[in-house]
Structure 1
Amino acid sequence: MPGRALALLLAVAVLGGCGAEDAGPAAAPADGARPPGRGPAPAYGDTLVEALTGNVSGLIPNILSDAPSFEVAGLLYNGLVKRDRDLRLVGDLAERWTLSPDCRELTFQLRRNVRWHDGHPFTAEDVLFTYRTMVHPRTPTAYREDFLAVETIEAPDPYTVRIRYRRPYAKALQSWGIWMLPRHVLEPWVREGRLREAPQNWHAPVGTGPYRLRELRAGEKIVLVANRDYFAGRPYISRVVYRIIPSQATIFLELKAGGVDVANLTALQYRRQTEYPAFRKAFHKFRYAANAYTYLGFNLRDPRFADRRVRQAFAHAIDKRALVEGVLLGMGREATGPYRPGTWVYNPNVPAYPYDPARARELLAAAGWRQRNAEGVLVRDGKPFAFTLLTNQGNDERKKVAEIVQASLREVGVAVEIKTIEWAAFLKEYIRKRRFEAIILGWGIGHDPDQYDIWHSSKTGPDELNHIGYANPEVDALLERGRASCEERERKQHYDRLQVVLADEQPIVFLYFRDALPVVASRVQGIDASPHGIKFNFTEWYVPEARQRYTSE
């Protein structure tokens, strides 16, 4: 029976996972061990092997939007600014800056000791080129809007950049955390509108970052080597190898066998499969509230999902608390919108969708789905309410979520078929081309509340992020006003209202915010657990000479 099937799914998932405490705001060693940052003296050398569940979709991050690509590219490139351990904006390629109180006038002074990987000096001309690349109409980027806000930009000398915005712009400073691109290498490709085809996007990236690309074998591995001429100092770890392993279960086996040093655990692995002395000795586990949420998304071009009552019905049909307890074993928080509970922008006073299958059936009936066929599936105009739910291969958590959503919707008369697809193909063939009915995916959100690129009706193109096709004039106006002020109090008013509208509309069903559960081999020292997670100071990680496993290069 459908009801029993759902109960069994939840019971199996929740076994042993109740009663977890909420994670604090900062990352911390999960095992109570001595923080791994306090150890023997730093030493150069060794190789760190990290697992990725999906292929990268390129190596020029300005035109990409997926986590694996950002993970790798983040070690190849720099922006003008970055976030420190306490999430404050600090200089990266910029040494210092001045920003006017109204967020309209911004001047950067650049570092003078930065060189691209091929030896060319980094100068203000590269900043201007990056700006021109981002606003070029043929650049396939989702992040153009931050740069269209610029009124003028100039370089009075090789190490000074002056920027003026048309109107106050909340993200004026942080938007220049975008990865800087080399003019001397990429200018012809940008001019011809072929940046995606540039060799630097696949096998020959030229950045300023702490690592250089040594090797890329699609679907197998990516090898980076330390940049000995890095302006901030040579990284201690000599090589970073990303292994593409499209299965969290296989990653875990490799982790225990010593074939992987860094990975992200599932909740089950974290809670139930790593609490034994040998694992605790070999690895350090961390836990912190991640700035990312999981959602059930719809193609709003589909007339069935264009009806708000259907989306609201689905929200009532899914027991979010059971998902948090069952799939995450309590290590997460229910989502009511796109902002994480506990942050300054979060609004707790939005329309709620408690688990209520009876209310879900009422809403579906109001939308015209009243009759059922012999299989118990709702029918309207002779067509059953059935659709395919897509998610990415290798993510056990999302697969479990999809299965619970499938069973939950079957309870209210909707038939769901689940299909998992390899990550890079999923993005290229389905998300980018809008070839989906519904999806289980996640959004990683930045530290600024601006989400213009995800929700604004102008951002529905194939290279942009509003892939569900959502359009609401009030939401557009709120997004525009929210980014046009430097005052947190004024911005919050707009984002509070945005959350109310999104909760009422349910363009997607916001499911939950999960905790990040990374694990790192215990031989690695220098990790500084912080509100920014653990990777912000990766160049300071090291392995004491006596514990190094691989020959230095």
Structure 2
Amino acid sequence: MVSLRAFLIASAAALAIGAAASVPAWAASLEVAVDSSPSGLDPHIVTAFSSFQIIDGTVYEGLTALDGDLNIVPGLATGWTISDDKKTYTFTLRDGVTFHSGGTMTSQDVAASLARVRAEATGSPLASRLTAVEAIETPDPLTVVLKLSAPSAPLLSSLSTIAIVPAKYAEDLETLQRTPDGTGPFRFATWQPNVKIGLEANAGYWQEGLPKLDGINFNIVPEAATRQVGLTSGQYHLLPNIDGVNALQLQGQPGIEIADTLELAYSLVGLNVSRPPLDNPQVREALNYAINRDDLVQAALFGAGRPGGPLSPALTNFAVPTSEFACFTPDADKAKSLLADAGVTTPIDLGLLVLPRDSTKAMAQVLQQQFAAIGVNVTLNIPEIGQFVQDWRNSEFDLFVSLNSGTIEPDDYFYRTFKTGGSTNVFKYSNEELDALLEAGRTQTEVAERQTIYREAQETLACDGPVLFLTYGQIYTAMRAQVDGYQIYPNRSLASLKAVSLGN
């Protein structure tokens, strides 16, 4: 029998056949190949990775930022002070920062951006991250003061995810979806639907000497094999955030380098707990027992990852090991017993909405088989990305399987996702005890106390919450050897592209 690795290496060799004998002269623009088109480009509205990777840190920036090691560093604010009661944050803005459409960024733009995220009419998935903000003051053009209702441990991290846009878009929810306008090192140039999005260098960027590229072209290439051939031939310079099987196929190819890291993003099955029988905690626990997460890692991630609980293992200060959750040990008999105790008659018929990505489609097929073993029949629905996002937002699903971005701060994920009425609580889940924990987690500033709080929150969510937590993957970026200065980020951001240059 031919081993998987041997098969993949042979496949990679086959892909390289017919590649150009010599790589063409490098252009000053970076050619990036990605698997899908964005669903939009408004940084306060979009949720899909396909949007995030194009605009985060390239077109848009926040008051704070994360470096490659996930440390909070200054962004559009040069620094900040925090009052003794930890309820007043005063930010000093960079002087002379300009927007791509013209005009200097001032405190009024910052205040308008934060208000836009908080506005109910915007429907921003980031709104929950600013619920502690009681008032925003702008005493002068370069000073922003945030008054909080209570201390907020995650605030500085949250602000790294909230882009600053011109105040003129405060009530405009259409323009930025098609024509982004930020302060970042690259500015929007062109969008050919399902073909390419082009960015060009921002000649007026505030950070001296950056960007080093003339531009970036995000080529929309759905087929993994086509992306790989394009990289080996020199048509593309970089394939960001690819999975283990694609990385293995490219490993060792002439002129190709691979970077990797354990990511913060997580795969999950979300449950609409307003729909019977998913409203029953025993049913949700049974579904957990039906899942063999090691099989998912092998089948969908080709071994490049690990089973994951509510928080990424990369968050060593907070994540509870999955070995501590009984329901993470596969047990079909236990699952059937729980369904019987819940008074549920099998077979159960449910629909599974699937994010249209290779890894999530593979997971959906494995899950379909695992659920069938306990009498749960699942029908797969794999729409295009725009329809997936719409159905997800509107809670039009029994189950969905997806890949979601993670952050360094548990509150950024838990509060908006699991708090009653949270901005991304599409599960319609409500748990008063968990709500109290999440409120305490964002106001408590002592690390040890927060660890205790989030341990209890994870224990609450792991087995009978509205999510079946699946895996955390190793992510890879494949690039031509001529790409200098690229750093892979665990949160999938391509912010490091501003420091990238192309050699000969």
Shift of 1:136: 2.4
2:261–2:488 contact (8 Å) kept in structure 1: no
Point out which structure has higher relative CO (alpha carbons under 8 A, 6+ apart).
1
What is the alpha-carbon distance in structure 2 between the residues aligned to residue 326 and residue 200 of structure 1? 39
Matched residues in 2 for 1:425 and 1:520: separation?
31
- Which secondary structure does the structure 2 equivalent of 1:62 belong to? coil
Aligned residue number for residue 196 of structure 1: 173
Matched, 1:269 2:246: yes
* Counterparts of 1:470 and 1:249, CA distance in 2: 40
Aligned-partner SS, 1:296: strand
Over 3 Å counting, the alpha-carbon distance change for 1:414 and 1:532 in structure 2 is closer
Question: 3-state DSSP class of the match of 1:108?
Answer: strand
Asked whether the equivalents of residues 16 and 329 of structure 1 are also in contact (C-alpha less than 8 Å), the reply is no
Instruction: Report the Cα distance in structure 1 between the residues aligned to 2:86 and 2:312, rounded to whole angstroms.
Output: 24
Corresponding residue number in structure 2 for 1:310: 283
Deviations 1:181-225 (Å, cap 9, x if unpaired)?
A: 101x324xx1xxxx322x23213x221111111101222211000
The residue identity in structure 2 corresponding to 1:214 is A
In the alignment, which of 76, 84, 87 is matched to residue 59 of structure 2?
76
Supply the distance in 2 between the matched residues of 1:401 and 1:520 (Cα, whole angstroms).
Answer: 27
- Residues 1:487 and 2:446 aligned together: yes
Partner of 2:13: none
Match of 1:255 in 2: 231
**1:259-338 matched pairs, under 5 angstroms:** 259-263=235-239, 264-271=241-248, 273-276=249-252, 279=253, 281-338=254-311
- Residue equivalent to 2:469: 510
In 2, are the aligned partners of 1:334 and 1:511 still within 8 Å (CA)? yes
1:143-202 Cα distance to aligned partner (Å, 9 max, x none): 22333322332122111122221111112323332111101x324xx1xxxx322x2321
* CA distance 1:499–1:207, shift in 2 (3 Å): same
| Change over 3 Å in CA distance of 1:246–1:532 after alignment to 2 | closer
Q: Secondary structure at the match of 1:61?
A: coil
Contact 2:305 2:472 in 1 (8 A): yes
Distance in 2, matches of 1:386 and 1:412, equals 12
| Alignment check: 8 A CA contact 1:455 1:470 kept | yes
Q: Which residue of 1 is the match for residue 11 of structure 2?
A: none
- Alpha-carbon distance in structure 2 between the residues aligned to 1:99 and 1:242: 40
* Structure 1 Cα separation of the partners of residues 492 and 117 of structure 2: 29
Query: Secondary structure of 2:98's partner?
Result: coil
Alignment partner, residue 367 of structure 2? 405
For 1:156, the equivalent position in structure 2 comes to 139
What amino acid is the match of 1:292?
A
Residue 526 to residue 220, structure 1, CA distance change in 2 (3 Å):
same
Q: Distance in 2 between matches of 1:332 and 1:274?
A: 18
Deviation of the 1:304 alpha carbon? 1.6
TM superposition shift of 1:298:
1.6
User: Aligned residue for 2:192?
Assistant: 217
TM-score for both structures, normalised by structure 1: 0.81
Q: Percent identity?
A: 29
- Distance in 2 between residues matched to 1:76 and 1:313, nearest whole Å: 44
**1:353 positional shift:** 2.8
CA distance in structure 1 between the aligned counterparts of 2:498 and 2:65, rounded to whole angstroms: 14
Report the Cα offset of residue 102 of structure 1: 4.0
Q: Distance in 2 between matches of 1:492 and 1:158?
A: 38
Please name the residue that 2:166 is paired with: 182
| CA-to-aligned-CA distance 1:23-65 (integer Å, 9 cap, x gap) | xxxxxxxxxxxxxxxxxxxxx9612122232222222201222
Residues 406, 415 of structure 1: 8 Å contact kept:
yes
In structure 1, give the amino acid aligned to 2:173: R
User: What corresponds to 2:419 in structure 1?
Assistant: 456
Shift of 1:448: 0.8
* Letter in structure 2 aligned against 1:179: A
Could you tell me whether the CA contact under 8 Å between 2:54 and 2:494 is conserved in 1? no
User: Residue 102 of structure 2 corresponds to which residue in structure 1?
Assistant: 119
Counterpart position of 1:32 = none
CA shift at 1:543, angstroms? 0.7
Structure 1 residue aligned with 2:384, among 410, 415, 422?
422
CA distance, structure 1, for counterparts of residue 487 and residue 350 of structure 2 = 45
Which residue does 1:386 correspond to in 2? 349
Structure 1 residue matching 2:173: 3-state secondary structure: helix
1:232 aligns with 2:194: no
CA distance in 1, matches of 2:68, 2:467: 32
Which structure has the larger Rg?
1
The one-character-per-residue Cα deviations of 1:389-412 (angstroms, maximum 9, x if unpaired) are 22122x222111111111112222
Are the structure 2 counterparts of residues 344 and 420 from structure 1 closer, same or farther at C-alpha, using a change threshold of 3 Å? same
Q: Give 1:20-31 correspondences, 5 Å limit.
A: none
Q: How many residues align?
A: 477
Q: Deviations over 1:364-416 (max 9, x none)?
A: 2223345xxxxxxx34xxxxx122222122x2221111111111122222222
Any idea what SS the aligned residue of 1:173 has? Answer: helix
Return the letter of the residue paired with 1:122.
M
Map 1:331-410; keep pairs closer than 5 Å: 331-340=304-313, 343-348=316-321, 349-370=324-345, 378-379=346-347, 385-393=348-356, 395-410=357-372
Counterpart CA distance in 2 for 1:200 and 1:533 is 22
Q: Which residue of 2 aligns with 1:85?
A: 68
The question of 1:522 aligning with 2:481 is answered yes
CA contact (8 A) 1:104 1:172 kept: no
Q: Which amino acid aligns with 1:324?
A: V
Which residue is 1:206 aligned to?
A: 181
Q: CA deviation at 1:337?
A: 2.1
Q: Measure how far apart 1:132 and its partner are.
A: 2.3
**Gap change, CA 1:246 and 1:368, over 3 Å in 2:** farther
Change in Cα spacing, 1:252 to 1:458, as seen in structure 2 (3 Å) is same
Shift of 1:520: 1.6
